[in-house]
Amino acid sequence: MFSKEDSKKIREEFWTSFGKKYTHKWVLYNTGIKEVQLKFTFNNDFAQVSLDIYSADEVIQEYYYEKVYALKSILKDEYLKDIEIDKNYLLPERKEVSRFYVQLDSVNIHNKNHWPKVYEFLNKHMQPLENFFMEYKEYIEE
């Protein structure tokens, strides 16, 4: 078991080393659409690459979810065939988002032996998700 401080250092080390290994400037939060973000997640159970939709206004969140969901076939056929879709994904902080994601199970951020596999997974899946978003951004935001 790790203390909170040790865990924080390990997480920082992972993300710093990931950024050095893959120097690509990821879109992530800078999508240009406040309610839509691209995210990396790596914790004690899994790693994820996701497109998250969140708004305090349920109508706006539904709007953006429906726009991306309408592109589901293109997303699966041309970008990420294993994409999962969860309209009501509950985050650990109890916030509900609409999430389009791919996940790698049975990895742990505290196990450095898992890191190379997770580096590859994150890079391999964010690249096409980012490409999809950039290709269809205009449609999503109109």
The rounded percent of the chain whose pLDDT value lies above 90 is: 89
Q: Which domain holds residue 77?
A: 4-141
With H, G, I as helix, E, B as strand and everything else as coil, classify residue 130.
Answer: helix
* 128 pLDDT tier (thresholds 50, 70, 90): very high
pLDDT, one tens digit per residue, over 79-107 is 999 999 999 999 999 999 999 999 999 99
CB 41, CB 27: distance < 8 Å: no
| pLDDT for the residue 96 | 95
pLDDT, one tens digit per residue, over 41-74 is 999 999 999 999 999 999 999 999 999 999 999 9
pLDDT at residue 2 greater than cutoff 80: no
CB 98, CB 55: distance < 8 Å: no
Could you report how far apart the first and last alpha carbons of the chain are, in Å?
Answer: 48
| pLDDT for the residue 3 | 85
Measured distance CA(118)–CA(22) in Å, rounded: 12
The pTM of this model reads 0.93
Q: Domain count for the chain, please give it.
A: 1
| pLDDT for the residue 6 | 87
CB 133, CB 31: distance < 8 Å: yes
Mean model confidence pLDDT for the chain: 95
| pLDDT for the residue 54 | 97
DSSP letters for 5-73: HHHHHHHHHHHHHHHHH------TT-SS-TTEEEEEEE-SSEEEEEEEE--SSHHHHHHHHHHHHTTHH
| pLDDT for the residue 21 | 93
CB 122, CB 39: distance < 8 Å: no
CB 27, CB 132: distance < 8 Å: no
